[in-house]
Structure 1
Amino acid sequence: MTNNSLRILVVEDDFFAAQRLANEIRAHGDHVVGPFADVHEAIHRVGLVQAAILDIRVQDENSFQLADSLTHVGIPFVFLTGYDRCVIPPRFSGRGVYTKPSCAAPLLDSLHREHARIAHRQEDSLETVVIEMLHRARGMMPDEASVERLVEAVLLRAIHEQADAPPIEDLHGWLFHMLEIEYQERGKTHLQ
């Protein structure tokens, strides 16, 4: 059983293999989205999942377009296939490839490790902190324009203060503290 369950997209056109895989995923504590025996139907679920297990050949198509979509939005995936690795395009060379039949445990281990690595990297990103600041500022200010002006003022102040200073270890905490100070000191000046 995993500590943090994931929503895992399963794309497999063999009914019995798909059901066995789905049952193993559930037994490990994760949630199954699918299984899907159609690549195009699965593509429409990309925004609902945190990881994916893809058969390479699904009916008369391959799953590489789906793999591209997952790559584009940063969702980890592995291939589970009966085909040789040489059929996989070089752009997917760093992805896990597991041979059918395979139990779900090593696939899930790989997906959980990759998901945790991506989540850790995103937590520390400036983009994530700014999005969180905008969300918090929406609770402070009456309209979207004043929200943006407040966050912009915090970011400009942060840039000015950090010009010659050592890097901040807790960027998230520091910027949120500055957001509170900016709101208390000059919140009304950011109104329209």
Structure 2
Amino acid sequence: MRDVRGLQLLIVEDEWLLADDLARYFSSMGATILGPVATIEQAFHYTDNAQAAILDININGRRVFPVADELQRRGIPFVFFTGDSESVIPDRLRYASNLHKSSGSQAVFDALFPQRGVREESAATTDDVLSILPKLRLAARLGLGDVAASDRLVEKTLEQALRDIDRRAAGLSTEDWLNEIMRTVGESCGAKLLH
């Protein structure tokens, strides 16, 4: 189970009892709770500090998707936690888990912080670029929203990695190293990739 001590967790929930249950559960594990908040405007006050988030889809009649978009842009993990089975999640956000409110706090924890399976863990420890490539492509697509542009970003990232291999910091995993390079490449030429 992941250690969440000190993790800043944003809870966006307009049903006070549910928000309080989630806050107590994650607080008991050592997380620092941001909120809970019951409006979209309040949620935006915390997005810069959030390290993870639980989002009710319908907040007092308004959709939480603008908050989810901001968290996605920043690479912050989040889950949708809703009582509305009819909610339609936009395609750009469908990668996030969508849990019904009857799921309970442990299910929310498991969705926010999925445990790695033995196979996935061994692949990550081998630092095999081929096993990391799908994650890079997904991160690029989430950031740019365009398939062709995101593939160009991954290509430029790998080209830059080949040029920088001698400057790679000791102890940094290949996945973290490539993600750092992709952030840098994306910041410097992300807009150009869309054309």
* Percent identical residues: 34
CA RMSD of aligned residues (A): 3.1
Instruction: Output the amino acid matched with 1:41.
Output: Q
Closer, same or farther: CA 12–4 of 1 in aligned 2, 3 Å: closer
Q: 1:172 aligns with which of 166, 169, 173?
A: 169
- Structure 1 equivalent of residue 68 of structure 2: 67
Residue 3 of structure 2 corresponds to 3
Tell me, in whole angstroms, the C-alpha distance in 2 between the residues paired with 1:53 and 1:7.
11
Q: Report the Cα distance in structure 2 between the residues aligned to 1:17 and 1:86, rounded to whole angstroms.
A: 18
Unaligned runs of at least 5 residues, structure 2? 116-120, 122-131, 137-159, 172-195
C-alpha distance in 1 between matches for 2:39 and 2:53: 14
Q: Tell me the matched-pair count.
A: 129
Q: Please, which runs of 5 or more residues in structure 1 have no aligned partner?
A: 126-158, 175-192
Map of 1:79-118 to 2, 5 A cutoff?
79-84=80-85, 87-113=88-114
Taking the aligned partners of 1:169 and 1:50, their CA distance within structure 2 comes to: 32
Residue 40 of structure 1 aligns to a residue whose secondary structure is helix
Give yes or no for contact 2:11–2:33 (8 Å, CA) kept in 1: yes
Q: For residues 107 and 41 of structure 1, what CA distance do their matches in structure 2 show?
A: 22
Alignment of 1:22-33 (within 5 A): 22-33=23-34
Task: Output the CA distance in 2 between the equivalents of 1:169 and 1:80.
Answer: 45
CA–CA separation in structure 2 for the residues paired with 1:4 and 1:15: 23
AA aligned opposite 1:171: R
After superposition, where does 1:9-158 map in structure 2 within 5 Å? 9-84=10-85, 87-113=88-114
How far the C-alpha of 1:2 sits from its partner, in A, is: 4.2
